[in-house]
Amino acid sequence: MQRNITLDFIRGLAVLGILLLNISGFGLPSAAYLNPAWRGMPAVHEIWTWATLDLLAQIKFLTLFAILFGAGLQMLLPRGKGWLQSRLTWLAIFGFIHAVFFWEGDILLDYAIVGLIAWRMIRDVPSTRSLFNTGALLYLVGVAVLIVFSMISSGKANSSWLPGIADLQYESFWKLAGGWEAVQNRLDHLSSSLLALGAQYGWQLAGLMMIGGALMRNGWLKGEFSLAHYRRTAWVLIGIAFLIQIPGIFLQWTLRWDFRWTGFLLQVPRDLAAPLQAIGYAALCFGYWPWLAKLKITQAICCVGRMALTNYLLQTLICTTLFYRFGWFMQLDRLALLAVVPAVWAANILFSLFWLRLFRQGPMEWLWRQLTRLAAGKPADHSRVG
């Protein structure tokens, strides 16, 4: 199967872009991820950092990654049921290990669980239009559940939104100390995450995967449309996404991130805009590919995309070392944390370039493929890594 290098580039951008938000998950308490006022009204530079990231990055790259994941499921359908189920089962195992023993912000387990359901839907819906529309409907169901949660919530902030001093001290303790205490807390976090996946986020994730499958099936994610189409689509979708989000960002700021409104209801504009913006980002890449393809950095990011799983886990390894082993946790504010991001990106890029000069696949991609072969009952691949 010939590789689509534009998709490799988009996947690489998604992996690198995810770190823009994950860096606060590594370096700040969990409450800070959605609430910049977790310890009182933040400084102006902190607010502008949050607002910029909220507009440009918050869940956008995760959404883009989910769409690409669904496109990948569509591409793998010819390999059959056994291959897909084995592949997703092993991804779930990787995700569980990552979530429990390394970092509680794991997304692999969620993608694997939902993928085990979504691939059948992608396979069984005959019409591309129906597949896209069903995906959009499922995504909107997830948004509607978020609105329902806002109605039934007491509106009173708990420690996950406004942590007290004792909460912050305990979180710092178990993250820096590690060991069984950290494992127990990550298991608790995983339990809550799986409940949220079943109740709300899973609807959105399944919808995005189906949308990705439809866009791959109709050729849109293969670059089969005109450059003018992709450019026009990009600017229209991103413009609409900005118009939807900016009022919500302004209201959160004005209301000082009051939990009654911000905890659920004002997350809705961002969720509604995310698929539009993510597809817009992909359209930008396709529309301007003749220019992008000439840049050396583009080829480097393609390498990151070819090793997406390895690079995602490498980000965890680097960041947990910096923040938990070297004691940087809660030592940097949101803006200062962004200064760490380019260094981690550089590590992703340099490692990918080095590795792919020697091998055809990343180390985790190779391991994933070999384990999938064994589980699916396929002959072993005795070639060099890849």
Give me the mean pLDDT over the 152-166 stretch: 88
* Residue 58, in any domain of the structure: yes
Residue 384 has pLDDT above 70, yes or no: no
Neighbours of 19 (CB within 10 A): 25
Q: Looking at residue 206, what is its pLDDT?
A: 98
Residue 260 has pLDDT above 90, yes or no: no
Confidence at 212, pLDDT banded by 50, 70, 90: very high
Strand partners for 40? 38
* Residue 44, in any domain of the structure: yes
Residue 379 has pLDDT above 80, yes or no: no
Cα separation, 221 vs 72, in Å, equals 10
Confidence at 377, pLDDT banded by 50, 70, 90: confident
Residue 385 has pLDDT above 80, yes or no: no
How open is the CA angle 306-358-293, to the nearest 5 degrees?
45
Q: Looking at residue 380, what is its pLDDT?
A: 58
Q: Looking at residue 154, what is its pLDDT?
A: 78
* Residue 234, in any domain of the structure: yes
Q: Looking at residue 378, what is its pLDDT?
A: 73
Question: What percentage of the chain has pLDDT greater than the value 70?
Answer: 97
Residue 95 has pLDDT above 70, yes or no: yes
Q: Is the CB of residue 34 less than 8 Å from the CB of residue 267?
A: yes
Q: Looking at residue 382, what is its pLDDT?
A: 53
Residue 214 has pLDDT above 50, yes or no: yes
* Residue 55, in any domain of the structure: yes
Tell me the CA distances in angstroms from 258 to 54, 348, 360, one per residue in order. 17, 37, 50
Residue 381 has pLDDT above 80, yes or no: no
Give me the mean pLDDT over the 74-99 stretch: 96
Q: What is the pTM of this model?
A: 0.95
* Residue 382, in any domain of the structure: no
Confidence at 386, pLDDT banded by 50, 70, 90: very low
* Residue 383, in any domain of the structure: no
Give me the mean pLDDT over the 60-77 stretch: 97
Give me the half-sphere count of Cα atoms (radius 13 Å) on the Cβ side of residue 43. 6
Q: What total number of domains does the chain contain?
A: 1
For the segment 226-242, what is each residue's pLDDT rounded down to a tens digit? 999 999 999 999 999 99
Give me the mean pLDDT over the 134-147 stretch: 96
Give me the mean pLDDT over the 248-274 stretch: 94
Give me the mean pLDDT over the 371-380 stretch: 84
Q: Looking at residue 63, what is its pLDDT?
A: 97
Arithmetic mean of pLDDT over the chain: 94
Q: Give the number of residues written for the chain.
A: 386
Residue 155 has pLDDT above 90, yes or no: no
* Residue 132, in any domain of the structure: yes
Confidence at 224, pLDDT banded by 50, 70, 90: very high
More reliable by pLDDT, 379 or 103: 103
Give the structural domain span for 178. Answer: 5-376
Tell me the CA distances in angstroms from 136 to 62, 204, 244, 278, 382, one per residue in order. 16, 9, 17, 14, 42
For the segment 1-20, what is each residue's pLDDT rounded down to a tens digit? 557 899 999 999 999 999 99
Q: Is the CB of residue 159 less than 8 Å from the CB of residue 38?
A: no
Give me the mean pLDDT over the 170-187 stretch: 95
* Residue 384, in any domain of the structure: no
For the segment 299-349, what is each residue's pLDDT rounded down to a tens digit? 999 999 999 999 999 999 999 999 999 999 999 999 999 999 999 999 999
